Chain A
Amino acid sequence: MSSTDERMWTARVRSRAVRALPPDKLLPDRQPVYVSSWIYVFGVLTLAAFVVVLVSGVVLGVEGPQWWHRSSVGLFFNSLHLWSVQLFLAFMVVHLWGKFFMAAWRGRRAMTWITGALAFIGSVGTAFTGYLIQENFDSQWISTQAKDGLNSVGIGSFFNVLNYGQMLIFHVVLLPFVMSILIVWHIVLVRLRGVVPPFPPRSERSAFPSAEVSSDVAAPADAAAPAEEVAP
């Protein structure tokens, strides 16, 4: 690369990106040995369910309501969209429980925790707007009940859950866009900071909590120790 190239913003952004997240760190072949537990599988299960949600949602959007209400394949995709969302939320909650009891925000992982929490809240909103656009009595009931609830806490002035067009756009454009950004951000942070290591054994824990926190800060570097790694 010539010195002229190095001055270009594209070259600077590229070199910074590769320095921060080299390809082998972005898509590693092996994981730390402590990841060999079923509880670590729920993050990727959530991600897999999210992909099915997105793909089935795109198919529903392309084909339209007449198709998903009346044809057998359409009904199948409608069900696929619903059940993948159920699995997405169930896997995400088990993932959340696991990470909560691991205190997964340790070792400079606060933003990983925050983006995960925001993705959880966002997914509740996305699922809710999905229920509003079912075009049946269920969606009418949910939207009128939710309108009262949202008005009672003052949120109803920002959007109208009885407005079908607005809720449709929320569900198929705005919220999936926000969710995709949050999930990609969350995964990049997991790759940057590493998977949170387990708590050290009781005998090795310091009597002073501040000392324990400082040892956790070094955890991402420990996570890359090749001697302890296993295949995913």
Chain B
Amino acid sequence: MGSLAVNLNGPGHYVHWGVIQISVANLVVIAVMIALFVAAILLPFPKDRDRK
């Protein structure tokens, strides 16, 4: 298999914060989803060209 952007051969990386323990992969996915949510609210929606 060609070289991957992320090396998946090995144990995952985890973040510990008190009682909270979460993998970096899951944390990244949650961050992307929150960014997507904020962008969906803030970014302007393209207008219908037929109706000006």
Q: Does A39 contact B (CB under 8 A)?
A: yes
Cα-based distance from A231 to B47 in the complex (angstroms): 9
Chain B residue contacts of A185, Cβ below 8 A: none
Quick check: A38 and B33 within 8 Å, CB to CB?
A: no
Quick check: B48 and A38 within 8 Å, CB to CB?
A: no
Cα-based distance from A58 to B3 in the complex (angstroms): 31
Given A37-B45, A230-B51, A231-B51, A42 contacting B33 (CB threshold 8 A): no
Q: Does A122 contact B (CB under 8 A)?
A: no
Q: Does A107 contact B (CB under 8 A)?
A: no
Quick check: B40 and A94 within 8 Å, CB to CB?
A: yes
- Candidates A38, A90, A93; contact of B41 at CB < 8 Å: A38
Chain B residue contacts of A215, Cβ below 8 A: none
Q: Does B4 contact A (CB under 8 A)?
A: no
Chain A residue contacts of B32, Cβ below 8 A: 90
Which among B29, B33, B37, B50 has the highest number of chain A CB atoms within 10 Å?
B37
Q: Does A57 contact B (CB under 8 A)?
A: no
Nearest-CB distance from B51 to chain A (Å)?
A: 6
Chain A residue contacts of B39, Cβ below 8 A: 38
Cα-based distance from A97 to B39 in the complex (angstroms): 13
Chain B residue contacts of A97, Cβ below 8 A: 37
Given A231-B48, A231-B50, A39 contacting B33 (CB threshold 8 A): no
Quick check: A39 and B50 within 8 Å, CB to CB?
A: no
Enumerate chain B interface residues (CB-CB to A < 8 A): 29, 32-33, 36-37, 39-41, 43, 45, 47-48, 50-51
Beyond known contacts A39-B40, A90-B32: 20 more, CB 8 A cutoff: A36-B45, A36-B47, A37-B45, A38-B40, A38-B43, A38-B45, A41-B40, A42-B40, A90-B33, A93-B33, A94-B33, A94-B36, A94-B37, A97-B37, A98-B37, A98-B40, A98-B41, A230-B48, A231-B48, A231-B51
